[in-house]
Amino acid sequence: MPADLVLLHGFTQTGRSWQPVRQALGGRYRALAPDLPGHGAFAARPASFAACDAYLRAVCARDTTVCGYSMGGRIALHYALWPGARLGRLVLLGASPGLEDPAERAARREADARLAERIAAIGVAAFAAEWAAQPLFAGMPRGVAALADEDRRRNTASGLSAALRGLGTGAMPSLWDGLSACAVPVELIVGERDEKFRALAERMAGLLPAARLHVVPGAGHAVQLEAPDAVAEVLRAAVPTPGTPPPGSRGRVAGTRGRPGAGS
């Protein structure tokens, strides 16, 4: 049976990272939170956008909501813009449509390849500490950071290296030009402190035909870890409970600030 909700994690995470959101949803949906290629139980699985597209084709129906964080959001958007994609709604957390400039994309591929080599050289534990120290994750509550570190250590160095080469931002084609043709409603969720991805989400909201922007107060980039109740609130408001009609309006809704879901 196809899932009502598919939850795609970010780079260095596993499907377990969605557990706080799933708990906040209280079993409301048939939800899948797989380990993506190169991560967790699928460390040896080929890591590519084509492999992820194939998985989503297998588990999605016309009314499935695909929700992705960061790398998972890029994977979700890549699938949603495929002409034969089956889904009812897209939810993107701290995600982007990739890099527009070919030169910048090539430079990023080279940087990703160097980082992949470093992961293989220093191992998962050391890399997890380096990854967590990025300014992107500054201000994350200590308990949340500890859980994130525990999840990262479920991965392997070879798997993360492969994921970076196959699913990294440098490997992803730019999807900016395709946003205006997106056939499904999109919920954009971003942490208030996540300035880079707030700006990206605001720009995306202006290009997507049916998008709503939700800014979660006080949260950073890893919004689903820092504020799972807020993310669950957006999902409950946007995604119909199984057996109920889908939301009637698919027109553009102005992006909102403040309490998540205020524009839902």
Q: What was the pLDDT predicted at 244?
A: 56
Catalytic residues: 70, 194, 221
Tokens standing for 247?
């939301």
**Other Cβ atoms within 10 Å of 226 Cβ, number:** 24
Exposure of 186 by Cβ count < 10 A (0-12 exposed, 13-18 middle, 19+ buried)?
buried
Domains of the chain with CATH codes: 1-264 (3.40.50.1820)
Q: Give the integer Cα–Cα distance in Å for 83 and 178.
A: 11
Task: Name, in order, each residue with C-beta under 8 angstroms of 86's C-beta and a sequence gap of 6 or more.
Answer: 57, 60, 61, 62, 64
Specify the pairing of strand 186-191 against strand 211-216: parallel
Q: Give the integer Cα–Cα distance in Å for 22 and 73.
A: 17
Q: What was the pLDDT predicted at 243?
A: 57
Q: Give the integer Cα–Cα distance in Å for 194 and 161.
A: 26
The beta strands (E) that lie in 81-177 are given as 89-93
Per-residue model confidence as pLDDT tens for the chain (264 residues):
678 999 999 999 999 999 999 999 998 899 999 999 999 998 878 899 999 999 999 999 999 999 999 999 999 999 999 988 999 999 999 999 999 999 999 999 999 999 999 999 999 999 999 999 999 999 999 999 999 999 999 999 999 999 999 999 999 999 999 999 999 999 999 999 999 999 999 999 999 999 999 999 999 999 999 999 999 999 999 988 775 554 443 333 333 433 333 232
Q: What was the pLDDT predicted at 83?
A: 87
Identify the residue whose tokens are 């939700």: 214
pTM of the predicted structure, to 2 decimals:
0.91
- Helical H runs in 141-194? 142-152, 157-167
Q: Which of 240, 241, 242, 235 is nearest to 260 (CA)?
A: 235
Q: What was the pLDDT predicted at 252?
A: 31
Tokens standing for 201?
């989400």
**Other Cβ atoms within 10 Å of 51 Cβ, number:** 18
Q: What was the pLDDT predicted at 234?
A: 96
